[in-house]
Amino acid sequence: MSSPWVMADARHVWHPYTQHFNAPEPVPIVRAQGAYLYDAYGRAIFDAISSWWVTLHGHAHPAIAAAIAGQARTLEQVIFAGFTHEPAALLAEDLVQRLPRGLTRVFFSDDGSTAVEVALKVALQHWKNRGKRRPLVAALEHAYHGDTFGAMSVGGRGLFTAGFAELLFEVARLPDPTEGDPVDALIQLLDTRGDELAAVIVEPLLLGVGGMRVWHASTLQALRALTAERGVLLIADEVLTGFGRTGPLFACERAGVVPDILCLAKGLTGGFLPLGVTVVTEELFASFRSPDCGRTLYHGHSYTANPISCAAARASLALLDAGSEQSRAAIERIHRKQLDVITGHPAVRAPRVLGTIAAFDLVGAASYLNPVGQALGAFALREGVLIRPLGNVVYLIPPYCSTAQDLERAYAVIAAFLDRPC
């Protein structure tokens, strides 16, 4: 029999990315620990995707939980316009010390989409504040930057944006680096519309929702060199790739580049609480600092720099130590070993690994609506593993506390699905 809260969910809750006409009942989770979720029936489920890519160190990590509890007893919330507090100030300092050198000013928001919205507004208003009209932003094909309107505009056009196409602003589209040459396309764009171009936005080294497409550091380096040479801002959306997912703490660090603007969210609090940040250079910040009130960045959120979220983020950052680095390297080694095992299967295409992220394509239509993804997800869940493919794209992004046995089990479940009788 379903519990009262499960029945309340069925009566009242609208779940994300869910067609409620025919969706299966959601799995009722009552607690989590380490790399595992536990449902209302006592079943343990290995969280192989870090609960939508947010859980870094494991669920219910005691250090982060303690930081949250301690902060909640001291200061739970205060307006951040005209006020400040220790968790936000020290978190900003912690981030600047760890980020690529040159990124010095931290603007707080609520999540990945809002971090991108801030980045776009900063980039566009920066040029206006300097007396120049540059309304154009360039972005990659198959990009995903969030579900708010600015983020949708710079994201790739497709299923998620189709209902709003006429409301999205113009974007100059550069080729997906796994399919074409965005550097040459940017050169052509600069030659034809360079005076209009405010910024280029990329997901560095990994197009996430667009299919876990891994692209080369050399391409990112070339884009950075070209934008710097031509005076165009580079925005790095590291909402997914930040905090060690690609190996180093940041994908830009892996490529040895420093963007003008960098967006972070997801793993920022270790997966405990919503929080986003947009970090910019001192030069960009200076273009907003003026006796002219019209040059102010008029943007904010009720929970901007929430003290509890900031305390969680500081605790999470402290856990990104040498031990975490070793764990991430171990996960990468296991990914490579296990992918080698299944690569020979006739249904598997394009296996790839980037740090703690592993992915491959299943033979079939490259579509988010390809039913093979749902079939694999349902099969894995019955076996106690949470996998949520992007259509025919299968990926694993585990918490850093995941053991070799956890990952081997997940790959064994995938192998069993591939070998099942059709």
Active site residues: 17, 144, 237, 266
Q: Could you tell me which of 140, 319, 109 has the C-alpha nearest to residue 236?
A: 140
Q: If residue 334 lies in a helix (H) or strand (E), which one and from where to where?
A: helix 322-342
Residues 6+ apart with CB under 8 A from 307: 71, 74, 75, 76, 77, 78, 85, 87, 88
Task: List the one residue out of 45, 51, 128, 79 whose CA is nearest residue 297.
Answer: 128
Q: β-pairing, 29-33 with 36-39?
A: antiparallel
- Adjacent-strand bridge partners of 280: 105, 261
CB 219 within 8 A of CB 172: no
Residue 336 corresponds to which tokens in the numbers above? 């490579």
- Here the tokens at position 139 are 């972005």
In whole angstroms, what is the distance from residue 40 CA to residue 58 CA? 20
Residue 393: burial class (beta carbons within 10 Å; 0-12, 13-18, 19+): buried
Interatomic CA distance for residues 407 and 328, integer angstroms:
13
269 close to 64: Cβ distance less than 8 angstroms: yes
- Count CB neighbours of 345 within 10 A: 15
Task: State which amino acid sits at residue 305.
Answer: A
